[in-house]
Structure 1
């Protein structure tokens, strides 16, 4: 991996966060399955991209490739200008941990650890000293409106609060990109609107967002919307 790929040095604003060139993923078999057909896509700093499509269309496959969880079977994927194709798994993991934050429909919190401890865990393997982990975790929880809930455990928090902890955990490493997979899927309407408002605020503050959703109202909040159907990507162009 080239020097500086996972450090905290700022990336020039004109370098895309993600740049896909002819990216595709085909699962071997008889017959092979084209999960994603070749596509080009550029996601620039400050973009807010929403992705819609039926179940099995390729949305999760796209997210896994964007998040460096899966390797494409063809094409080139650049993250912050870094070509990820030739990286070893340990290098991909380091890049993922330092530059990408994940928010899922299921909160994936440790139930008997405090919100502060859950957020700190995101930095455990990044070489961040404990004192700095505490400071940054408190700042991240404050950013999502939970500065007064640092000692609360998930079993004593509402669904909206737990999702806020999950968002704080995703933000604490100061990523270039926040990937959200159905972030309001387990929330009631009122709480979902609060979480979407928080994501809007984060985007206004400069966070680059990709949100996968089945909800047209959530999709409409993005600056750009992609539809995926049968592994084919189409961008919805609005006037």
Structure 2
């Protein structure tokens, strides 16, 4: 398997991180018609380093579009998106992919773990294409599993783990690349109440340690755990809780 080289000092994805992890300047996305569909109307949004933000809204509101733009999976059709101070619209596809791999850790509702691979192996996989030397991968993966409270389960298969443990492995896999942003899409959607509470407590702990966490959810109880909440409805972004952070439409 070919390893992707890490970004060097002259790469557009290298360099010091900005104090603003996410900065939307008039960012929007319209799908071409006929008729055109404004999935996300132009908006401004700032997420500072160390923030914990929940993005809420009903099905079809534009949450998935927001996630895809913030996660560099889709490019906006309007405005400028800066991730860690880097203008993502100015990057070629290969550099956008590298930036996503280095600066964003994804956690999804479905755990997306390989069932016949141990927890350690599932976490290590995230480092294969991230420019981390082979000799460092196992130690990094163990460290990430320790961080989520699973240092004693490194050899366990996902099929022998609870839903909460599997989501913790998925979070460790997201953390192992040491990202600037932990981007979570309905992270408790497949969990019972006890396991959901445990995962949310873990996200709160990671936030307390300085991690920038952004959670996409339809669940108000999940959103209540965040430091601030943003709502999307019919493609329009707005605040739902007064804060010192500015979100304009």
Which range, TM-score by smaller chain? over 0.9
Q: Residues 38-73 of structure 1, C-alpha deviation per residue, up to 9 Å, x if partnerless?
A: 000111001110011110000011011000000000
For residue 215 of structure 1, what is the aligned residue in structure 2?
219
SS at match of 2:23: strand
After TM superposition, the score normalised by the length of structure 2 is 0.92
For residues 80 and 194 of structure 1, the distance between their equivalents in structure 2, rounded to whole angstroms, comes to 29
What SS does the corresponding residue of 2:80 show, helix, strand or coil? strand
Q: Secondary structure at the match of 2:229?
A: strand
Q: CA deviation at 1:85?
A: 0.3
| Cα distance in 1, alignment partners of residues 117 and 16 from structure 2 | 32
Contact 2:141/2:173 (<8 A) preserved:
yes
Cα offset for 1:4? 4.6
Moved over 4 A (4+): none
Match of 2:182 among 178, 181, 192: 178
**Superposition deviation, residue 179 in structure 1:** 0.4
Q: Which residue of 1 aligns with 2:13?
A: 6
TM-score by length of 1: 0.95
What is the CA distance between 1:88 and its match in structure 2? 1.3
Quote the residue 1:35 is aligned against.
39
CA contact (8 A) 2:113 2:170 kept: yes
Give yes or no for the alignment of 1:109 onto 2:116.
no
Shift of 1:140: 0.1
* Cα distance between partner residues in 2 of 1:33 and 1:26: 5
Unaligned runs of 5+ residues in structure 2 are 1-6, 244-249
CA distance in 2 between counterparts of 1:59 and 1:149 reads 34
User: 1:90 is matched with which residue: 94, 112, 121?
Assistant: 94
2:64 aligned residue = 60
Q: What is the aligned-residue RMSD (CA, Å)?
A: 1.4
Give the total of aligned pairs: 236
3-state DSSP class of the match of 2:151? coil
Shift of 1:106: 0.2
Provide the secondary structure at the position in 2 that maps to 1:196: helix
